[in-house]
Amino acid sequence: MIDLADFNLILILDHLSTFAFALVGARIAAMRNMDYGGLLFVAAAAALSGGTFRNVILDINPAWINQPTLLLVIALAVVLTIAFRWTKPVGNFIQLLDSIGLAIATIAGVALAVEFDKGVIPAVVLGVISGVLGGLVRDVLSQVEPTLLHRETNGTSAFLGAVSFVLALELGLNQTYASIIAGSLVFAFRSLSIKFNWHLPKLNK
């Protein structure tokens, strides 16, 4: 049994982002008319890809191995999707959850890299990858146009958040305040990009 006293900020962020990404992944899989096994697989891939990659790069066990409650969180997201028959196209609420997941996963990634003294640039890169990889894998498995590659500035939002996190630490803020500031920036920028249809420039045909 896991002692709640052992949970640090990064583990809490991992659980929150896992639920958000799993719920979005299960919803998109349901929208694509997948069976229950497909829902579970896509939800797990969406929720665990970024954090697993992050930990492998840092040469530590993936979080779900040491914290099996992450798997229970994924199962909960799938059960809720099935119970409430959430099969309609992704709406504002699901995009809201996805933005929350992006913010949390990005900050968890950069925070862990900083904790392992990997340097500023590697920490930023790892934070961005942690934030966006799950969504990319989810979209590829679901055979939908990857959000990361076309719209909503997911990568840009994660990059801004990761940079602001390390800058806040350099200015002397503790990890909690740095996380709040950086996470809020990720969430706000992505939410605005969805509302106003912001995206990076594209090459004209």
Domain assignment of residue 57, yes or no: yes
Helix (H) or strand (E) holding 66: helix 63-66
Q: What pLDDT score was predicted for residue 27? A: 92
Domain assignment of residue 26, yes or no: yes
**DSSP secondary structure string, 177-190?**
HHHHHHHHHHHHHH
What average pLDDT does the chain have?
88
User: CA-to-CA distance for 55 and 112, rounded, in angstroms?
Assistant: 9
Domain assignment of residue 190, yes or no: yes
Domain assignment of residue 19, yes or no: yes
Q: Which of 23-27, 34-38, 71-75, 201-205 has the lowest mean pLDDT?
A: 201-205
Q: What is the pLDDT of residues 135-148, one digit of tens each?
A: 999 999 999 988 88
Q: What is the pLDDT of residues 38-51, one digit of tens each?
A: 999 999 999 999 98
Q: What angle do CA 56, 72, 132 make, to 5 degrees?
A: 45
The residue-averaged pLDDT of 4-20 equals 70
Task: Provide, rounded to the nearest whole percent, the portion of the chain with pLDDT above 70.
Answer: 93
Domain of residue 30, residue span: 7-196
Our count of domains for the chain comes to: 1
The residue-averaged pLDDT of 115-123 equals 92
Q: What is the pLDDT of residues 144-199, one digit of tens each?
A: 988 887 765 889 999 999 999 999 999 999 988 999 999 999 999 999 998 888 88
